[in-house]
Structure 1
């Protein structure tokens, strides 16, 4: 009788509701990848290129020295897009494609000076699944990065990029300078079926590397490499180096992806120059 009388009391018990502080709400939003809605006319961040619902960021935080993997068992997934970014700190990562035990048909090393200003975005071919994309943050623990791998709405090279490809012999290089109005650049590398070994550099000034990609693909025809490089500012030059021997030529197509038509090409007097800055009179 005592237990039957206490049972309704235990079932009807409710803990008192406590108010959530604004700081707690902010912490929860950071953990789930909350993205505040952008104001009208503001461009969307590169991390939102995936097919995630509106207002939700599907990227995963990868701490320094840690590894994250994305597996795709379906053979219908033939290519995925990898997007890496930071909060303004340097980005240093290894990206590998695993297909079967001890088989890595594609791998690349990525370095970016500023992962917020120039996020990394590349397309990895994944024919004949299952496949696994592994991203390792080889930076220190003070340099986390946000990684996102999507299999839908993947970027594709334009017709101009496909038609303007040029041959780069083994050990040779080509440079592609761009106007300040060019905000991003398409890069497509391909071979006739031979292995692909290349180094892609984004320079801004003499020997000033803003972004470096070291690439290996076991079959440049079955697994071509395509990426989009962000090129803010002026003096941007893309340098493509074929690091393979002379027996392994490749073709490269490097064309503008997006152009800011409103940017003025007129000179600004004293824009980057301080008259008499260090001179003594």
Structure 2
């Protein structure tokens, strides 16, 4: 085997090391170029990672439709179209006010209505104002010094939420007394008229399906979505006296309407009422049995009319709301 001279071997070794050095420099330059290129910020917290994953996978159906143009509320409307739920063609509250001449009851004054016809076994009592508060007492007079039914009514805004109730008047003649206990600056408009067959009482009874027992001293609440424009309320007993307090709430202990009821006999004279809930954020009906434990009441609360709103987004969103 022929051996290479020593000088030639040294030259070959030096050339090989130079080639290795050049290759190393080229790799280092490439690494620097790649490492210096801009890159996106990575998510560093678990909470941010979960939000990013949920934001990518969440669909529109998981969100409440919010009017972002005006910053809320949930719906935007010029005025809802009212749709009744009752299958009894009773006149609506608006029709009653339009067809009846109301009596103005000034602050501190008393007005009475007498019904001598024994066939009148129920009477409609409706209040409203021009936007001012309503504070009134309602008494049923049946004979001298006999008041089997009393109510105390407070409404924060008598134009936005009118008061509507049915008072049983069996075994006539009977008289209804309305006393405006508000100040002179707060008059109210009152309508008191017979509730005949297929009237408000029958219409209210047609929308309720079940009753809930409220023991003495207990409280029950019912929440309603914004589509519910008015609520039917029935409170009765098994023949015992009835003492209850009904409140329409918006927010924590923010009472928009309060009715305190006393009835001598909850079977002959049960409490029927329509509570208007025109708010666009939902409402709560709270009923408290203010009687002792031995005097339970039976309460029925159900939607009475619905409002068809112009929802932001899908026009079919109205059908997705639950009434309760």
Please state which band the TM-score falls in when normalised by the shorter chain.
0.7 to 0.9
- Paired residues of 1:67 and 1:136 also in contact (CA < 8 A): yes
Contact 2:248 2:255 in 1 (8 A): yes
Count of aligned positions = 222
Name the residue aligned to 2:307.
Answer: 260
| Partner SS state of residue 88, structure 1 | coil
Please tell me whether Structure 1 or Structure 2 has the larger radius of gyration of its CA atoms: 2
Match of 1:249 among 296, 313, 320: 296
RMSD: 2.2
Show structure 2 runs of 5+ residues with no match: 1-79, 83-90, 315-324
Q: Distance in 2 between matches of 1:116 and 1:45?
A: 16
SS at match of 2:184: coil
Task: Classify the secondary structure of the residue corresponding to 1:159.
Answer: helix
- Determine which structure has the larger helix proportion and give its number: 2
The partner residue of 1:183 within 205, 215, 229 is 229
- Find the residue that maps to 1:158 and give its secondary structure: helix
Q: What TM-score do you get using the length of structure 1 for normalisation?
A: 0.75
Taking the aligned partners of 1:146 and 1:42, their CA distance within structure 2 comes to 25
Residue 99 in 1 paired to residue 146 in 2?
Answer: no
Distance 2:81 2:113 in 1: 31
- Native 8 Å contact 2:81 2:309 kept in 1: no
For 1:60, the equivalent position in structure 2 comes to: 103
Q: Runs in 1 of length 4+ with deviation above 6 angstroms?
A: 41-45
The answer to whether the 8 Å contact 2:213/2:297 transfers is yes
Q: CA deviation at 1:57?
A: 3.7
Q: What is the CA deviation profile of residues 196-218 of structure 1, one whole-angstrom value per residue up to 9, with x for unaligned ones?
A: 00000000111100000000000
Structure 2 counterpart of 1:202? 248
Gaps of 5+ in 1: 1-40, 268-281
